[in-house]
Structure 1
Amino acid sequence: MAARSCRFLYSSSSSPIATTSPLLSPTPSAATRRKLLLSSTCGTIASAAAASAMEGQGAPAAPGGKGSAIVVVDSHLHVWASPQQAAERYPYFPGQEPPIRGDVDLLLQCMDEAGVDGALIVQPINHMFDHSLVTSVLKKYPSKFIGCCLANPADDGSGIKQLEHLIVQEKYRAVRFNPNLWPSGQKMTNEVGRSLFAKAGELGAPVGIMVMKGISTYIQEIEELCTDYPKTTVIFDHMAFCKPPMNIEEEKAFTSFLELSRFPQIYVKYSALFRISREAYPYEDTSQLLSRVISSYGANRIMWGSDFPFVVPECGYKGAKEAISHVAGKIPVSSSDLEWILGKTVTQLFQGAWVSA
């Protein structure tokens, strides 16, 4: 019954605007989508994928869940309004209507099924700078979720006051930098960007950076910001979008990402494996990425994230969690390091969160 309840549905808007927008992460391949959309539940998807990919391979059991001493926390996911909520109170940003379900009821069902104790909710582009929907979720489930707001880099500097309000008054714990939202031709190191970055450090809020165009595009900006503002913590979303290198340029980019570990304030999300893998579930090729990132950053600076709800039509939410233990078993990763990745890193970074987990 749990798998049946964890269902993904298309909204009344049939146009996949949100997933094709350059502000969002890329959609899965056409072949992958056709195959996965045949399944109707995240539990069904996860079970089918896991059965075919892990059969006979002796994948280690996934930690966490009821009765487990290990706290499992999802460091990267999104929630947005249902179509009814959007019509009544929490409208979508024009042109960013989501094509799949991403409401908190679905999320809670998936987390319960997978044995995930808590999560960091990242403000979705679907509501842009209107944080009212996410704020309502944080207030309703204060021991389950903390929030990462979205930085507004508008030229007039209004985003700086909004950032302070969201962190001080609404109790958000982190802020996301999306370079695609900066005014055309401007960088994250412009006056507003530097002010936002400095303010985040002043308020103790880590800055999550989504380098969708690749780490090489933003390496100089990130080095400059980390050098000038060493008190501001940085978290790279989705392993800085580095895939297993296949040529000299990709290896160079990944190496530059690893070298950023010299900044002690930088953390890494081993998240959205379907975005960084070149293979089907359970994304075994990411083991080489994970091994090298652990060697450079240490497991205590790495955290798992699902990228719900985008992960649901890929491998299912439960499948996303189970893939971590499977990939870790290929390296192998010690049980201690796996504990850091699955929850200890993020809970230590955000002290006082998930106190009831």
Structure 2
Amino acid sequence: MVIDAHQHFWQYDPIRDAWIDDSMQVIRGDFFPEHLEPVLAANGVHGCVAVQADQSENETAFLLDLADKYPFIKGVVGWTDLRHPAVREHLAAYATHPKLKGFRHIVQGEPDNNFLLGDEFCRGIAALADFGFSYDILVYPKQLTATAAFVKKFPDHRFVIDHVAKPDFKTGALDEWAAHMRHIAQSPNVYCKLSGLVTEADWQHWQPEHFEPFLDVVLDCFGPNRLMFGSDWPVCLLAAEYSEVKEIITRYINKLSTSEQNNIMGGNAISFYHL
């Protein structure tokens, strides 16, 4: 089964979604399951994991409502305030929903590069495992030092790094990023999503080979059993069609065994998210 481990839905709101600036007109609109379902079918994708794009409890409720209505949405990564004093009570309530698989915070937007190591945040993270939830790590390369220390604190938690931590595809500079990723990958509980590539590259002029040195690094350090394909639809539409995004990964992993390819294209997501 092919699973898209990372995509989004939203009803566009110009105030809430102010991050969608004038250069992003193509995604200034509504993106719902009825828009994605035929795209997945056309690309041989059987299901997806819907990931939060807004940091609110309303966002989590919105995604869970969609997941209840559309069977192809196999899981949801929502948001809750992990620093809240009553976080355990909130998680207990969420644990009653079978399609809620984990949580994410937009750490890349936090001014403190050590946000992940904050005491209140870590108390919330510590509670996730008690309810069977995973955590998606969304960071920039400058936050990878803290990320490495963070994952070491929780060796029994399921973590996945979104978008290969957004390295600098435009310049091709990878040494510092690669060193951090190799260090983080030493923790066997950490996975990595092959997602968000084209939007971190030159939108108009990227080529598949631009990503290969970076993909070589994560394949080498995480291995084929801890990597997941994700489209980052509809954000990917800024730079590529869904089919092009998928082809970057399928073309790259073609050198692997059939079972390893199947794991990256769905099996690992099923295992990690308990789909």
Q: TM-score by structure 1 length?
A: 0.66
Whole-Å separation in 1 of the counterparts to 2:8 and 2:229: 14
Whole-Å separation in 1 of the counterparts to 2:62 and 2:169: 36
Cα contact 1:79–1:103 (8 A) shared by 2: yes
Whole-Å separation in 1 of the counterparts to 2:43 and 2:208: 18
Cα contact 2:91–2:131 (8 A) shared by 1: no
Superposed, which structure 2 residues align to 1:1-357 within 5 Å?
71-81=1-11, 92=13, 94-96=15-17, 99-125=28-54, 128-130=56-58, 131-142=60-71, 144-154=73-83, 156-169=84-97, 171-179=99-107, 187-211=115-139, 214-220=140-146, 222-244=147-169, 246=171, 250-277=174-201, 280-329=205-254, 332-351=255-274, 353=275
Q: TM-score by structure 2 length?
A: 0.84
Whole-Å separation in 1 of the counterparts to 2:237 and 2:177: 29
Shift of 1:229: 1.8
Instruction: Output one character per residue of 1:147-167: Cα deviation in whole Å (capped at 9) or x when no partner.
Output: 00124245x435553344223
Whole-Å separation in 1 of the counterparts to 2:175 and 2:145: 14
Shift of 1:345: 1.0
Whole-Å separation in 2 of the counterparts to 1:218 and 1:282: 26
Residues 93 and 200 of structure 1, relative CA distance in 2, 3 Å threshold: farther
Whole-Å separation in 2 of the counterparts to 1:171 and 1:343: 17
User: Alignment RMSD, CA only?
Assistant: 2.7
Whole-Å separation in 1 of the counterparts to 2:46 and 2:5: 11
Q: Percent sequence identity over matched residues? A: 19
Residues 325 and 141 of structure 1, relative CA distance in 2, 3 Å threshold: same
What code does the residue aligned with 1:295 have?
D
Shift of 1:285: 1.6
What code does the residue aligned with 2:50 have?
I
What code does the residue aligned with 2:189 have?
Q
Cα contact 2:56–2:80 (8 A) shared by 1: no
What code does the residue aligned with 1:215 have?
P
Residues 140 and 267 of structure 1, relative CA distance in 2, 3 Å threshold: same
Whole-Å separation in 1 of the counterparts to 2:172 and 2:245: 27
Shift of 1:290: 1.4
Whole-Å separation in 2 of the counterparts to 1:184 and 1:293: 26
Instruction: Please state whether the residue corresponding to 1:173 is helix, strand or coil.
Output: strand
Shift of 1:204: 2.0
Shift of 1:287: 1.4
Whole-Å separation in 2 of the counterparts to 1:78 and 1:159: 24
Whole-Å separation in 1 of the counterparts to 2:193 and 2:78: 17
Whole-Å separation in 1 of the counterparts to 2:180 and 2:137: 16
Shift of 1:179: 1.7
Shift of 1:247: 7.6
Name the larger-Rg structure: 1
Residues 265 and 316 of structure 1, relative CA distance in 2, 3 Å threshold: same
Residues 162 and 181 of structure 1, relative CA distance in 2, 3 Å threshold: farther
Shift of 1:201: 1.9
What code does the residue aligned with 1:348 have?
S
Shift of 1:146: 0.7
Instruction: Output one character per residue of 1:70-118: Cα deviation in whole Å (capped at 9) or x when no partner.
Output: x11000000113x6xxxxxxxx594326613311110112111111101
What code does the residue aligned with 2:233 have?
F
What code does the residue aligned with 2:145 have?
I
Q: Which residue of 2 aligns with 1:29?
A: none
Residues 306 and 269 of structure 1, relative CA distance in 2, 3 Å threshold: same
Instruction: Please state whether the residue corresponding to 1:267 is helix, strand or coil.
Output: strand
Aligned residues: 265
What code does the residue aligned with 1:73 have?
I
